[in-house]
Structure 1
Amino acid sequence: MRRILAALALVAAALTVTQQPAARASDNGQSIRPAMGWSSWSFVRRWPDEAKLRAQADALVSSGLAAKGYVYVNLDDFFQKCDANGFLVDEYGRWAIDAAKFPSGIKALADYVHSKGLKFGFYVTPGIAKNAVTRNTRVEGTAYRAADIADTSATHKNYNCRNMYRLRFDHPGTQAFINSWADQMASWGVDHLKIDGVDATTVADVEAWDRALRQTGRPINFALSNNLPISHATTWKRLANSWRTQGDVECYCGPGPNGSGFPLTTWAKVSGRFNSAASWQQYAAPGGWNDLDSLQIGNGDQMGINADQRRSHLTLWAMAASPLLLGSDLTALTATDLAMLTNDRLIAVNQDGVAAQRIISSGVNQVWRKRQAGGDHIVALFNTGTSGNSTVSVTWPQVGFTGPAEVTNLWSGAAEGSAASGYSATLRPGETRLIRARPTGGTLTRVEAESAAITQGAVESNHAGYSGTGFVNFDNVVGSGIEFPVDAASAGNVRLTLRYANGTSVARPMSVSVNGGPPVVRDFPGTTTWDGWTNAAVDVSVTAGANSVKLVATTADGGPNLDRISLR
């Protein structure tokens, strides 16, 4: 099918946009929106077992969280069995599962999770176990042995049994070994894989695991951990679906062994994410997200942060488009926290596929903004302090528009009426205010695609839901495109919205340029069906009077079907 649109948010950098476009996200088709679910590390910690994981899966469903999109049940570390030399291994050198903890095996656990309508996650770290090399185990499906592929002069970071040798990536058996491990996980039904201990020295490992997961043929969400260097951000973005931007959010200050038990975190641990979220913001995009670590909400104040701080915690994660992987005990959810986690408006802010920018950081006052595809501005105001109220204010030009706006409080859902030029709130220490500002001023200029200049494409009307007299379906060739004439009353930044449909599961790259400016190429996701029209919007700079917006297909697949563009 021919299609033309990926222009979507593309035109972002087509002109004077405030940010350069980030590197293209992983194209493995996973995590088009941030993952949501639960992970065992924060609460279960070093003592996971079959019964505990099943209980958390049950609670995810019975609480209503699964129905809201929290679908992953991720088994973290300490499911393995160790001796004095590190991890015990199977005949092919892969970690052996502790049968005392998981008597039915990992596949049976994954099957149970799947039977609840959920997805199952697993855990690994780079390298090959010392016991595999000592036993010189075979690499499955090859004549190679563990000793052939191990670099015994160097070890990898590992938080459990240690004793993980680095791998020789100049040897063909290395990829075969990782492939065999990935194949085993796929056969068990793994849907999400966290590879821990990643740093600047493990890029080859991450690349090998990316290849291994793809060759299984099973869709597996690929997550990297932890405290990854931002200097390699474009690499993590190319290879994975999420990456941990800091160390653990857990405080390890509980009364149990290794600091386990409540409290699970502190406000200092949570508020320490504000700066890293601002630094990493530019790298987030559909298919790849900045992971701020587990969400420590669910069990009330015993989590280690009060209700105001927990709302701020969720607000920051939502604005940053971070994965929402709960770290609490789902079998003991409080009503207050469950209401937070199931707030549809907060979930929508997280799942809109846009990572917010920080626009004010002054003492304890912070303001973050994002603009959604439909044109709404989402604004979060924070008092990050631990004592004293603070008044936090922002003007609409700082947010990105002028004129009045209708304001809705997204935590309460209450309409707050029209605000002429900005917004202000006096916040308790640790409190947040999250609002939607919907501009009510300005004029809308709309141009139907069928009236534009089309190159290698046709106007069609065989899919329902279009406006005007039809839509443009471009030929499946590189270079097919369209050029829109657009009149602007005055020069400045405007919102360009493109209405499109892409009935495939493959994102469609397009280049977009404004007034002959440098073209920008990005991928844009499918909409399930060709009748599934949706909007994609970006801020661009136009001149007063006549302007030209040009979209061009960059691959033989063409772009999505295009209905119209509009500017406000």
Structure 2
Amino acid sequence: MKCFTLCLVSFLLLFDFWFQSVSSRNLSESNIQQVGLPPRGWNSYDAFSWIISEQEFLQNAEIISQRLRPHGYEYVVVDYLWYRKKVPGAYSDSLGFDVIDKWGRMVPDPGRWPSSKGGNGFSEVAKKVHSLGLKFGIHVMRGISTQAVNANTPILDTTGAAYQESGRVWYAKDIAIQERRCAWMSNGFMSVNTKLGAGRAFLRSLYAQYAAWGVDLVKHDCVFGEDLDLSEITYVSEVLSKINRPFVYSLSPGTCVTPAMAKYVSGLVNMYRITGDDWDTWQDVAAHFDISRDLATANMIGAKGLKGSSWPDMDMLPFGWLTDPGSNEGPHRYCKLNLEEKRTQMTLWALAKSPLMYGGDVRRIDPATYEIITNPTLLEINHFSSNNIEFPYVTSSKNLKSEYQHHIGKMRRSKKGKKHIHSLALTGCTESKAIGWTTENQSLNQDLERICWKGSLEIKNQNPFCVHKRDLQFRLDGENTHQEDYRGKHHLVATNQMRFCLDGSSKRKVTSKEFNKGTFSPCRLDTNQIWELNSNGTLVNSYSGLCATVKYIEANVVSGGIRSWIATGRNGEVYLAFFNLNEQKTPVYAKTSDLGKVFPGRRIKSCQGTEVWSGKNVVTTQGTISVDVEVHGCALFVLHCN
């Protein structure tokens, strides 16, 4: 133990040297493209939730090494709460069950990770993973744990002793922003003040420890999307940039992400989630088409990232043997997606060049799933295709002279008619769609001022979304030394429920539920419920720094339609996919001549090739490519065109 402590102190001293000064040798190595391709691997969450053990993890890793590593799957990632004791009363947002060291840092639960005993952390697991030819990743949360704050642990300095500044030792309560807790794990973690030297020292000590363990990837959660904490992302990126070996930096989750928001972080990281959690429902799969299109159009695929490239991440592939969201159970059920839906998901993920992280228990992977995730054409597209973009020139009509339909979805309405609901979303405050909030004199309560959304009202005669401003009526815990300036900021209360305040970030992060925003919960001193109305008509949330916008969504509607993506291969081949989002088998048509419209300077007259899933040869007939696509299915063509 003494030897380990001396080694750790030595490592921290070396890490501080890396962090403070970068030699010319380090500069040259930092320019190496360490993440030039979308990462590929396996993550434990979809199959095991938080309860995975060392034995189960290594069993999966061994099979991945044997069966998936030859196909480019090289990362194995332990998802969240690896530090939580698996005992009665413990669950995803419980308090007091975590294992922390004397510096307030999370360490693996020795009951589930026995090799971590004696201060080893994940070192032995990482060594085993590396011996299998794989790379090791872990999930981490924002900031500091509530448990560390309650214990008021001291902050570790790079000298191996407690951090001192201004003549005193600094502790967890000095750096914690207790009113900025993770919105969906409020008992778990909160932000740290990165303006303080002690706050930065704490984050530095975390990632120094992960590097010492041999970690190759960190999935940093509750810092992006509507949980955005740009200051922490920026500082962690700076710390990781000084580690003189490849290290992948991943962000999660991605609820409410826009291209503008992606541009805030893409240069700081290597992969970032662009939706909430994706589970095995068709609604979750279909919800990825719009955001993946928007990011491709904004040229975010493979943009410059941390010491390499960055990739919009569409979340794990929830195939095979799974658990349920937030469960205390391990894998116990089979994926609900049918074969066509799984092919659609894998094809879209490949064409959008998303990182491919398999989510099922690999010990029980079935032949059909294995065939999909190792399909050589899809893996070639995912890593080596270019010019990847949605292809708008498709139709479901034989009359190709009719107007092409970009979103052909025939909206199937219920008998209740065209009722619309408000959908509150968060977006970057510099975006035009964030502007539209105004104050009104009309109010049911004379003591409260009403503010309403009046920007870009798409629906005529639709009542505006309105809330009432109320002064903050809470005081901070006297033990919390961090004091934000909340002058000019307010709670926003519902018209008829003055005890309920508007939340910025939702507590559920499921992709298909993202439209259902604008929730109210009991008022509390929480930055997620604190807002500031600016003179330019923007409404800023203090938790994320993002601005509120409102959309009007038609209720009782099931979206369908057809979509298409296109890309080019390394040898000039054209990849073209048709997707059927309808509830019935649908013919899809495209003109061969239209393929050239998305490739500047290239004129295409005729094509021939194969359809991947059926294996059938394809020859254009009268300048047209056509196929009947199954319900929720897809067709993928590999074309050689003249």
Question: Kindly tell me: are residues 302 and 130 of structure 1, through their superposed partners in 2, closer, same or farther at Cα, counting changes over 3 Å?
Answer: closer
Q: In the alignment, which residue of structure 1 is the partner of 2:594?
A: 398
Is 2:179 the partner of 1:154?
yes
Q: Kindly provide the amino acid, as one letter, of the partner of residue 274 in structure 1.
A: F
Where 2:110 maps in the other structure, the secondary structure is coil
Q: Using the TM superposition, name which of 64-73 and 221-230 deviates more.
A: 221-230
Residue 414 of structure 1 deviates from its aligned partner by: 4.6
Q: In the alignment, which residue of structure 2 is the partner of 1:220?
A: 247
Q: How many residues align?
A: 399
Where 1:406 maps in the other structure, the secondary structure is strand
In 2, the alpha carbon distance for the partners of 1:87 and 1:190 equals: 20
Q: Kindly provide the amino acid, as one letter, of the partner of residue 44 in structure 1.
A: F
Q: In the alignment, which residue of structure 1 is the partner of 2:190?
A: 165
Is 2:120 the partner of 1:102?
no
Residue 295 of structure 1 deviates from its aligned partner by: 0.8
Q: What whole-Å deviation, never above 9, does each CA across 1:346-393 have from its counterpart, x for those lacking one?
A: 1101112534324243122111112234322211001112x3210011
Question: Kindly tell me: are residues 60 and 39 of structure 1, through their superposed partners in 2, closer, same or farther at Cα, counting changes over 3 Å?
Answer: same
Q: Kindly provide the amino acid, as one letter, of the partner of residue 279 in structure 1.
A: D
Q: Kindly provide the amino acid, as one letter, of the partner of residue 124 in structure 2.
A: A
Residue 296 of structure 1 deviates from its aligned partner by: 2.0
TM-score, normalization: structure 2?
Answer: 0.59
Is 2:103 the partner of 1:76?
no
Q: Kindly provide the amino acid, as one letter, of the partner of residue 181 in structure 1.
A: L
Is 2:267 the partner of 1:65?
no
Q: In the alignment, which residue of structure 1 is the partner of 2:144?
A: 128
Is 2:578 the partner of 1:384?
no
Q: Given that residues 175 and 198 in structure 2 are in contact (C-alpha distance below 8 angstroms), is that contact kept between their aligned partners in structure 1?
A: no
Q: What whole-Å deviation, never above 9, does each CA across 1:117-146 have from its counterpart, x for those lacking one?
A: 111111111111233333332323232523
In 1, the alpha carbon distance for the partners of 2:111 and 2:637 equals: 50
Q: Given that residues 409 and 433 in structure 1 are in contact (C-alpha distance below 8 angstroms), is that contact kept between their aligned partners in structure 2?
A: yes
Q: Given that residues 198 and 226 in structure 1 are in contact (C-alpha distance below 8 angstroms), is that contact kept between their aligned partners in structure 2?
A: yes
Is 2:290 the partner of 1:272?
no
Question: Kindly tell me: are residues 174 and 86 of structure 1, through their superposed partners in 2, closer, same or farther at Cα, counting changes over 3 Å?
Answer: farther
Matches within 5 A, 1:117-266: 117-133=133-149, 134-141=151-158, 142-143=163-164, 144-147=169-172, 149-157=174-182, 162-199=187-224, 201-228=228-255, 229-230=257-258, 231-250=260-279, 265-266=280-281
Q: Given that residues 404 and 420 in structure 1 are in contact (C-alpha distance below 8 angstroms), is that contact kept between their aligned partners in structure 2?
A: no
Counterpart pick for 1:297 among 319, 330, 339: 319
In 2, the alpha carbon distance for the partners of 1:27 and 1:318 equals: 27
Residue 87 of structure 1 deviates from its aligned partner by: 4.3
In 2, the alpha carbon distance for the partners of 1:352 and 1:272 equals: 25
Question: Kindly tell me: are residues 295 and 163 of structure 1, through their superposed partners in 2, closer, same or farther at Cα, counting changes over 3 Å?
Answer: closer
Is 2:529 the partner of 1:332?
no
Q: In the alignment, which residue of structure 2 is the partner of 1:48?
A: 52
Residue 342 of structure 1 deviates from its aligned partner by: 1.4
Counterpart pick for 1:361 among 407, 432, 443: 407
Residue 183 of structure 1 deviates from its aligned partner by: 1.2
Where 1:131 maps in the other structure, the secondary structure is helix
Q: Given that residues 87 and 130 in structure 1 are in contact (C-alpha distance below 8 angstroms), is that contact kept between their aligned partners in structure 2?
A: no
Matches within 5 A, 1:556-567: none
Q: Kindly provide the amino acid, as one letter, of the partner of residue 31 in structure 1.
A: V
In 2, the alpha carbon distance for the partners of 1:89 and 1:432 equals: 48
Q: Kindly provide the amino acid, as one letter, of the partner of residue 157 in structure 2.
A: E
Matches within 5 A, 1:437-448: 437-440=639-642
In 2, the alpha carbon distance for the partners of 1:407 and 1:137 equals: 65
Between the aligned residues of both structures, percent identity stands at 24
In 2, the alpha carbon distance for the partners of 1:246 and 1:60 equals: 26
In 2, the alpha carbon distance for the partners of 1:271 and 1:28 equals: 36
In 2, the alpha carbon distance for the partners of 1:326 and 1:167 equals: 32
Q: Given that residues 83 and 100 in structure 2 are in contact (C-alpha distance below 8 angstroms), is that contact kept between their aligned partners in structure 1?
A: no
Gaps of 5+ in 2: 1-29, 86-93, 117-121, 304-308, 323-332, 393-405, 410-560, 597-602
Q: Given that residues 138 and 218 in structure 2 are in contact (C-alpha distance below 8 angstroms), is that contact kept between their aligned partners in structure 1?
A: yes
Residue 148 of structure 1 deviates from its aligned partner by: 6.9
Question: Kindly tell me: are residues 176 and 342 of structure 1, through their superposed partners in 2, closer, same or farther at Cα, counting changes over 3 Å?
Answer: same
Gaps of 5+ in 1: 1-25, 251-264, 441-568
In 2, the alpha carbon distance for the partners of 1:162 and 1:120 equals: 28
Residue 85 of structure 1 deviates from its aligned partner by: 4.8
Where 2:231 maps in the other structure, the secondary structure is helix
Q: Given that residues 344 and 632 in structure 2 are in contact (C-alpha distance below 8 angstroms), is that contact kept between their aligned partners in structure 1?
A: yes
Question: Kindly tell me: are residues 244 and 383 of structure 1, through their superposed partners in 2, closer, same or farther at Cα, counting changes over 3 Å?
Answer: same
Where 1:328 maps in the other structure, the secondary structure is coil
In 1, the alpha carbon distance for the partners of 2:183 and 2:99 equals: 14
Question: Kindly tell me: are residues 312 and 27 of structure 1, through their superposed partners in 2, closer, same or farther at Cα, counting changes over 3 Å?
Answer: farther
Q: In the alignment, which residue of structure 1 is the partner of 2:629?
A: 427
Q: Given that residues 95 and 187 in structure 2 are in contact (C-alpha distance below 8 angstroms), is that contact kept between their aligned partners in structure 1?
A: no
In 2, the alpha carbon distance for the partners of 1:29 and 1:131 equals: 38
Question: Kindly tell me: are residues 209 and 155 of structure 1, through their superposed partners in 2, closer, same or farther at Cα, counting changes over 3 Å?
Answer: same
Q: Given that residues 144 and 176 in structure 2 are in contact (C-alpha distance below 8 angstroms), is that contact kept between their aligned partners in structure 1?
A: no
Residue 91 of structure 1 deviates from its aligned partner by: 2.0
Q: Given that residues 222 and 253 in structure 2 are in contact (C-alpha distance below 8 angstroms), is that contact kept between their aligned partners in structure 1?
A: yes
In 1, the alpha carbon distance for the partners of 2:266 and 2:52 equals: 30
Q: Kindly provide the amino acid, as one letter, of the partner of residue 39 in structure 1.
A: N
Counterpart pick for 1:113 among 129, 149, 160: 129
Question: Kindly tell me: are residues 28 and 76 of structure 1, through their superposed partners in 2, closer, same or farther at Cα, counting changes over 3 Å?
Answer: farther
Q: Given that residues 104 and 172 in structure 2 are in contact (C-alpha distance below 8 angstroms), is that contact kept between their aligned partners in structure 1?
A: no
In 2, the alpha carbon distance for the partners of 1:145 and 1:290 equals: 38
* Higher RCO (C-alpha 8 Å, min separation 6): 1
Residue 233 of structure 1 deviates from its aligned partner by: 1.2
Residue 149 of structure 1 deviates from its aligned partner by: 4.9
Residue 415 of structure 1 deviates from its aligned partner by: 3.7
Question: Kindly tell me: are residues 153 and 329 of structure 1, through their superposed partners in 2, closer, same or farther at Cα, counting changes over 3 Å?
Answer: closer
Q: Kindly provide the amino acid, as one letter, of the partner of residue 623 in structure 2.
A: S
Counterpart pick for 1:34 among 29, 34, 38: 38
Q: Given that residues 59 and 330 in structure 1 are in contact (C-alpha distance below 8 angstroms), is that contact kept between their aligned partners in structure 2?
A: yes
CA RMSD of aligned residues (A): 2.4
Question: Kindly tell me: are residues 156 and 398 of structure 1, through their superposed partners in 2, closer, same or farther at Cα, counting changes over 3 Å?
Answer: farther
Q: In the alignment, which residue of structure 2 is the partner of 1:288?
A: 310
TM-score, normalization: structure 1?
Answer: 0.66
Q: Given that residues 182 and 213 in structure 1 are in contact (C-alpha distance below 8 angstroms), is that contact kept between their aligned partners in structure 2?
A: yes
Q: Kindly provide the amino acid, as one letter, of the partner of residue 189 in structure 1.
A: G
Question: Kindly tell me: are residues 433 and 84 of structure 1, through their superposed partners in 2, closer, same or farther at Cα, counting changes over 3 Å?
Answer: closer
Q: Given that residues 132 and 146 in structure 1 are in contact (C-alpha distance below 8 angstroms), is that contact kept between their aligned partners in structure 2?
A: no
Q: Kindly provide the amino acid, as one letter, of the partner of residue 183 in structure 1.
A: A
